[in-house]
Amino acid sequence: MCSSDLKFAPVDQDLFLVRMQLRQKLTDSRAHGEIRRQIASAIKLEFEGLMRLRGRLDGVRMARMHEFRIAFKRFRDVLEALKPLYAISEMELSALRQLQFALGEIQNLEVIEAGLQQWSRKQSRVVRSKLGPVYNEMRGARQAHTEIAFKCCEHIDTLWVMIQEEVS
C-alpha cells in the first residue's frame, strides 16, 4: 500500500488539526512569556538607572535634574510603547507625562536664566539691578516645578511594582 492510498478519517484529521493548533499555541505562549521576561529585564535596567539618578537629585544641582529628565524620558517612552503588553492605564501614563512636563519646565527655566545672566553681564549696573525680581520669580517657578517633580517621582515606584507583579 502506497502512502498516497492512506486516507485520514474525518475525526482523525480533525484531531490532528486540533493537536497542531494546540502545539502552536503552546509554542507561541512560551515565546510570548520569554519575550515578556526579556522586556521586563530591559525595563528593570532602565528603572534601576532612573532610580540611581533619582537618588542623587537634590533640587539644587540642575545638571543632575537634566540627566534624570533624559533617563526618565527614555523610561516613559518604553512604557508608552509597551502599554498594550502591560496593563498600564492612561491615568498612570498621564502622571508620568506630568513629571516629564515638570522636568521640562525646570530645564527651560535653567536655560532662560543662564541666557539672561549671560546677557545681563554685558548690561549696565542699573539694568542688572532691575533683574533681581525676574530671577526671584524664575527661581520660585523652578522650585514649584521641582516639588511637583519630586511628588510625581513617587508614582514611578507604584507603577514599577504593578509591572513587576504582572510580569512574574
CA gap 148, 94 in Å, rounded: 14
CA gap 65, 70 in Å, rounded: 9
CA gap 110, 63 in Å, rounded: 10
pTM of the complete model: 0.66
Q: Work out whether the CA dihedral 66, 70, 71, 73 comes out positive or negative.
A: positive
| Predicted local distance difference test score (pLDDT) of residue 2 | 44
Main-chain phi, psi angles of 124, to 5 degrees:
-70, 165
CA gap 156, 51 in Å, rounded: 9
Each residue's pLDDT, cut to its tens digit, for the chain (168 residues) gives: 444 444 444 445 655 665 566 556 545 556 567 777 777 777 788 888 888 887 777 655 667 778 888 888 888 888 777 777 666 778 778 888 888 898 889 889 988 998 999 999 998 989 888 999 999 999 899 888 888 887 877 777 777 777 666 655
